[in-house]
Amino acid sequence: MTITAAADGSALGNPGPNGWAWYIDDDRWAAGGSPHGTNNQGELQAVLELLRATAGTDEKLVIECDSRYVIDSVTKWMPGWKRRGWRKSDGGPVLNRDLLEGIDEAIRGRDVSFTWVKGHAGHPLNEAADERANAAAKAYQQKQEPRRGPGFASAVDGGAALAGAMAVTSSSPRAAVAPAPATPATQSLWAEASDLLDGLGDAEIAQPVTLKVSLTGDEHARLRDRAQAQDISLEQALRRLI
């Protein structure tokens, strides 16, 4: 069987609040974004998230994109960039290298092809992905949590598994910490880190405690978006929330 999906991105202001989305059907789609980014970053993120979401299937994946930049980057230019140490032919650094490296890793060993479609031309999958990516960008513009969608039910969420296995060192003197309740999907993560850390400096410093935090796929997506917006690692973002 073949899975056909659309991947699209949106940016309000370009750069500005941006969104990404991939769409297979009404039961299998996802969206997200960040407070600041470009349209190209949203397009690439959509492809990367689609590849990650469908990593648990060995079916052929056809990705519809209305961005020739994305398709050419992955299918034409990336091999040369890699040979030159992620440098363009003029010696300049490749833009969006982190996303392209993620796609390069996620696509390895899989049967994936790209199809260009004209945007805003009535292609059903593309229109659905565009609508969701734009809605996510608008949500970030309004500092609201975007609709993230049901995801891909049979996917192996490698990102969530990685976050769940991540060991976090805490300065709390307690021997063990009970897990916090899951964050509701409608709750925003826009609190300042300094607000969340108030009072922790008053505690007596003891030996570090290692914690393992299990996150749902939706929780991991929100944490990843926060980390990307602040240009920090997942672990650093999680530390700031403790």
Active site residues: 8-9, 43, 66, 120, 130
Phi-psi region of 148 (alpha: psi -120 to 50; beta: other; left: phi over 0): alpha
What are the φ/ψ torsions at residue 204 (nearest 5 degrees)? -70, 130
Enter the tokens of residue 16.
């500005």
Q: Spell out the residues 6+ positions from residue 226 whose beta carbon is closer than 8 angstroms to its own.
A: 189, 237
In contact, 45 and 22? CB cutoff 8 Å:
no
d(CA 7, CA 203): 48
Q: Spell out the residues 6+ positions from residue 134 whose beta carbon is closer than 8 angstroms to its own.
A: 10, 19
Pairing of strands 28-37, 16-25: antiparallel
